[in-house]
Amino acid sequence: MSRSARRRPGRRRPWGSYAVVVAGAALTLVPFLDMLLTSFKGPGEYGKLPYRFLPQAFDLSNYRAAMEQLNLPLLFRNSVIATAVITGSILVTSALAGYALAKLHFPGREVIFRLVLSTMMFPPFLFFIPHFLILVHWPGAGGNDLLGRGGAGLTVSLAALVMPFLVSGFGIFLMRQFMISIPDELLEAARIDGAGEFALWWRIVLPQTKPVAVTLALLTFVNAWNEYIWALLISTANPRLMTLPVGIQMLQSYLDPDRMVPVMMAGLVLSILPVLLLFLLLQKHYLRGVMLSGLK
């Protein structure tokens, strides 16, 4: 056998795939890079033709203007509290409901699961008006009597920012699909040893769901942090419930048009920093959770 015949054929590099990945990464990063660079542009620089990505001089005045116009401590407080409560509630309720639908056998389980799936087929804002009316007529809150009349209900409290989002059909579905893969024999052995259902969930099932729980937490955190329509609706009833996305949008009403876009971009940069830092800290668990949950 000749020497050339004994050689193993070299593997061809998938240059086409690399090009597609690089192009996709560029299309994703360019808007963020433009937002960051625009936040350093001076008055009148944005919108000039021909368009320039780089600012003439990197200046932090836009960040100072954003902090002066926005009540950042209040906006951050509202956003952090709402996001933390929503994320924690969805993690707990999704893990409990997912375990019940995956490992417990009871009449109507499949019907309940289908109802959970059906909630994912409707856009969330479709229920905003019913939610708002329920909060307005909440008995005994915000000056209401026991029949829910006479006051503003819960629309003037921090509870209004979180109540429509405390349970997630997608979260229940995600946790249930992951928990199905946990062997039933492991749970049966624990039951024989005398473990109750809560002990099974807490000590055996929950530790194994860490990757998918981190994935769900990140997705929930991003959605809750960026929620705009519901926060805008609630802030009309009580301006002190305004969150960062709403406050940044309101900058248009207070700024000179020549400075409006750069200052808004500076506010957006400040608002995405918590999300970016959280993703960088948890990206290892997030990627593992995506692969294990079948979302790749």
> Can you give the pTM of this predicted structure?
0.83
The candidate with the shortest Cα–Cα distance to 212, out of 282, 131, 138, is: 282
Confidence band (pLDDT; 50, 70, 90) for 295?
A: very low
3-state secondary structure of 112: helix
For the stretch 221-234, pLDDT in tens is 999 999 999 999 99
Confidence band (pLDDT; 50, 70, 90) for 285?
A: low
Evaluate if residue 3 carries a pLDDT over 80: no
Evaluate if residue 200 carries a pLDDT over 50: yes
Q: Give residue 42's pLDDT.
A: 80
Evaluate if residue 1 carries a pLDDT over 50: no
Confidence band (pLDDT; 50, 70, 90) for 289?
A: low
CB atoms within 10 A of CB 77: 14
Q: Do 161 and 234 touch, CB atoms closer than 8 A?
A: yes
Q: What is the mean pLDDT of residues 173-200?
A: 90
CB atoms within 10 A of CB 20: 11
Ordered alpha helix ranges (H), the chain: 3-6, 15-38, 61-69, 72-103, 109-118, 128-136, 159-162, 169-179, 184-192, 197-199, 206-208, 210-225, 229-237, 244-250, 257-292
For the stretch 49-76, pLDDT in tens is 777 878 888 878 888 888 888 888 889 9
Long-range CB contacts (within 8 A, 24+) of 138-144 = none
Q: Give residue 48's pLDDT.
A: 76
Q: Which residues contact 271 (CB under 8 A, 6 or more apart)?
A: 79, 225, 244, 245, 248
Structure-block tokens of residue 175: 């946790």
22, 112, 119, 173, 243 from 108: Cα distances, Å = 48, 6, 17, 16, 40
Q: Give residue 117's pLDDT.
A: 92
Q: Do 239 and 97 touch, CB atoms closer than 8 A?
A: no
For the stretch 128-153, pLDDT in tens is 889 999 999 898 888 888 888 888 88
Q: Which residues contact 34 (CB under 8 A, 6 or more apart)?
A: 53
The whole-angstrom separation of Cα 252 and Cα 20 is 38
The whole-angstrom separation of Cα 275 and Cα 32 is 14
Confidence band (pLDDT; 50, 70, 90) for 280?
A: confident
Of 1-15, 16-30, 82-96, 212-226, give the lowest mean pLDDT range. Answer: 1-15
For the stretch 86-128, pLDDT in tens is 999 999 999 999 999 999 999 999 999 999 999 888 888 888 8
